[in-house]
Amino acid sequence: MDGLYNVAVVGATGAVGVEMLNILESRDFPIDNLKLLASSRSAGKKVKFKDKEYVVEKLTKDSFKNIDIALFSAGGARSKEFAKFAVEDGAVVIDNSSAFRMDKNVPLVVPEINPEDIFKHNGIIANPNCTTIIMLMAIKPLYDYSRIKRIIVSTYQAASGAGAQAMEELKQQAKDWANGREIKTEKFPYQLLFNVIPQVDIFLDNDYTKEEMKMVNETRKILHDEDIKVSATCVRLPVFRAHSEAVTVEFENDVEPKKAKELIDAFPGVKVVDNIQEGVYPMPLFVSGKDDCEVGRIRQDLNGSNWLSFWVVGDQIRKGAALNAVQIAEKLINK
């Protein structure tokens, strides 16, 4: 692939689709023709991209003629139904849903971590779950220094992880509370405003949620390490954008906090924000809208000198989804 590319964005009017378009424009991705696709509900809407107005088209099996790269962000059901048509028409699909992540024939990629896997594709490349991406951006430079035996992680996930309508629901709940109106809940199992919900996605037979098991299985696949142990607790917070994670890691060898900071700061796409004397550490309020993940509160865990604990924050819509997908596309065309 070289030159200019015909690109389709599937789910172009959703939170991640909108962000994909912003990133494609800001990073000046070499686009010849752009096609915006969505459900019949959104078909006909007009979207501006690089000073040109595009009309959103209804997604059909015939939408991918002459398309080189198809960025999918319309949910797993749509991906399973339509990705094959894109591949049949010669496009490479970069899919943001969970539909293909654990398919052994589909690479699961974070470009800073396992870029070589991009080129093992058979037409489809999967974008990992947002929580996995954010955690592994901090984990990978440490893993390269000393193999990791165990990860214990608690996530603090923003409403953005449940989509644009979920973010709108949180905003509406705040307005309704401020005006003394009844607070309504549709997108979450309980009111999110002034609350913390220790459930993201459905519960499975082992009493972990689907979201928690994504972190277990995806981490192993991306790192190519089936022996690494991961235990996750995923929690939804009344925050608009950017997920936060408290991570504790057991290494095979001793790792000092000073060394960990050096390793993380030298790794692309992540930076250390850690000055507890000045009260400086990553927070969603300041990471929202940024490309880089930020890591702070890096400290020797009390379990021993081969344990570390830290706090990592990343924008779920950008690095956790849209940016990661566009970066995969960039690697693909720059091969």
As given in the structure block, the two tokens for residue 248 are: 């504790």
Please tell me which residue in 130, 224, 234, 293 is annotated as part of the active site: 130
One-character DSSP codes across 272-321: E--BGGGTB---HHHHTT-SSEEEEEEEE-TT-TTEEEEEEEE-TTIIII
Dihedral (Cα; 308, 311, 317, 322), 10-degree rounding: -30
Angle at 133 between CA 131 and CA 138, to 5 degrees: 105
How many whole angstroms separate alpha carbon 26 and alpha carbon 307? 39
Task: Calculate Rg over the CA atoms of the chain.
Answer: 20
For residue 184, with 0-12 CB atoms within 10 Å meaning exposed, 13-18 middle and 19 or more buried, which class applies?
exposed
Would you call 130 a catalytic residue per the annotation? yes
Please tell me which residue in 121, 224, 234, 243 is annotated as part of the active site: 243
How many whole angstroms separate alpha carbon 48 and alpha carbon 130? 27
Residues acting as catalytic residues:
130, 243
